[in-house]
Copies of this chain bind each other. A is one copy, B any other.
Amino acid sequence: MPLMMDIPQLHDFLQNVFTQVAGSFRVERLDDMEIDVRLIVDDGHLRPGGTVSGPSMFGLADVAVYLAVMAMIGPKALAVTTNASIDFMRKPQAGQDIIAKCRLLKLGRSLAVGECLIYSAGGDTPVARANLTYSIPPTGSNADISMG
């Protein structure tokens, strides 16, 4: 399938729609049904001991799969997460960004399913895995957002 958005467009979309947190995320790779997104870790993402918090990992997976869906279907900000499941498997490395490597497994008319492995930057064993489901609003509804 052809991509409907490229990396700069995804960054603009993020800036428009999730202004507050957009600066923390950077799309590092984008391909058909696949995306890698980095969370640029700052103090707000850390737990004692300097490791990245669970909610920060969850938030990264959620944004990453959402952007993968947007890249495939175009900007529909009202797509919503309906279900997410995450396994925390190892302690992330202190002082490192984390990177979610995700793929879409299903992109239906009304539901999309994606999964991610999350790594500490520079690490090669996953610290977490996540799967997420999104409900996609019908095409042509006012859920479609024109990119200003």
Number of copies of chain A assembled together: 4
Is there an interface contact between A82 and B77, defined as CB atoms closer than 8 Å?
no
What 0/1 readout, one digit per residue, does chain A (84-106) give for beta carbons within 8 Å of chain B?
Answer: 11111110000000000000011
Q: Which residues between 62 and 116 of chain A lie within 8 Å of chain B, taking CB atoms?
A: 62, 77, 80-90, 105-106, 110-111, 113, 115
Interface flag for A20 (CB, 8 Å): yes
* Residues of the B chain whose Cβ atoms lie less than 8 Å from the Cβ of A89: 82, 105-106, 113
A contact residues, range: 35 or more
* Residues of the B chain whose Cβ atoms lie less than 8 Å from the Cβ of A135: 110-111
A58's closest neighbor in chain B, by CB? Answer: B58
Bound complex: CA of A55 vs CA of B86, how far in Å?
Answer: 12
Bound complex: CA of A82 vs CA of B88, how far in Å?
Answer: 5
Interface flag for A44 (CB, 8 Å): yes
Point out residues on A near B: beta carbons under 8 Å: 17-20, 43-44, 46-48, 53-56, 58-59, 62, 77, 80-90, 105-106, 110-111, 113, 115, 117, 126, 129, 131, 133, 135
